[in-house]
Amino acid sequence: MDRKRTVFLLEHGINTLPSDWRDWTNRGAFHVHQHTPHAAQSLEYFAGPLLAHFLHRRLARQFGRMLKAYADARWRVVVAAHSNGTRIAVEGMRAAGWPPVAELHLLCGAVDADFERNGLNQAVDSGRVGRVVCYAAGRDLAMRVEDTLLGRRLFGVRSEPLGLYGPLRVRKPLLDSGAVSSHDDAFWRAYGHSGCWRGRELDRTMCLVEAGSMT
């Protein structure tokens, strides 16, 4: 497929103003357009934790519709989602019937870490998702708050949040083949919940997300 037919779907978390240039999805889309031959788009919304709890099904359906539109038009899709955006993305992919996604990058994921329960084992096994990369920040206080009874209820996590525990119950062949992996380096061990988007760190993070589409 023509490399110019790759699109990066970027999904942010809560407490994000879409009209603010500092929003990582705005700057991330610019990075894609500036440094790759590809396209980028995001599904914008604004919500705090309580409103996000009530909106998540609607947002997931809308994300799924956006994803399906690109998949039906035969774009190669890369999804990069942060925080509550990981929940929107994973639930949206499931709601849309798992349209094909070449790569799924889950950063500081406010989503259930159990790959059997969240459906990602089956999606990768069946080839609907080509590769999943999980990123956990070493100083993520937001994920520690989520790892409480109230936090789990608000963000729909039935066991452990992905951004704190990493992927759990991943099928061994998927780990052995590298189809599911966890990124770990000194930068990520030093980041807080949104540290990967601050200043020049966004360039480093976006390069990680874009790397698989530059070969």
Indicate whether 14 pLDDT > 90: no
Kindly report, residue by residue over 21-58, the tens digit of the pLDDT: 989 999 999 999 999 999 999 999 988 777 667 788 89
* pLDDT, tens digit, 9 for 90 and up, residues 96-114: 999 999 999 999 999 999 9
> pLDDT at position 56, please?
83
Residue 105 parent element (H or E): strand 101-107
Mean pLDDT computed over 57-67: 95
pLDDT of 167? 97
Closest to 36 (Cα-Cα) out of 66, 7, 73, 68: 7
Question: Does residue 71 have a pLDDT over 80?
Answer: yes
Share of the chain above pLDDT 70, in %: 90
pLDDT of residue 1: 41
**Read out DSSP for 156-178?**
T-SS-BHHHH--BS--HHHHHHT
CA distance readout (Å), 97 to 40, 61, 119, 126: 22, 11, 11, 12
**pLDDT band (50, 70, 90) for residue 2:** very low
d(CA 29, CA 24): 8
Q: What is the pLDDT of residues 160-192, one digit of tens each?
A: 889 999 999 999 999 999 999 999 999 999 999
pLDDT at 149: 58
CATH-assigned architecture of domain 3-213: 3-Layer(aba) Sandwich (3.40)
pLDDT at 214: 79
Summary mean pLDDT of the chain? 91
Note the pLDDT of residue 16: 84
CB atoms under 10 Å from CB of 211, counted, come to 11
Min mean pLDDT across 56-60, 77-81, 130-134 is at 56-60
pLDDT for 208 beyond 80:
yes
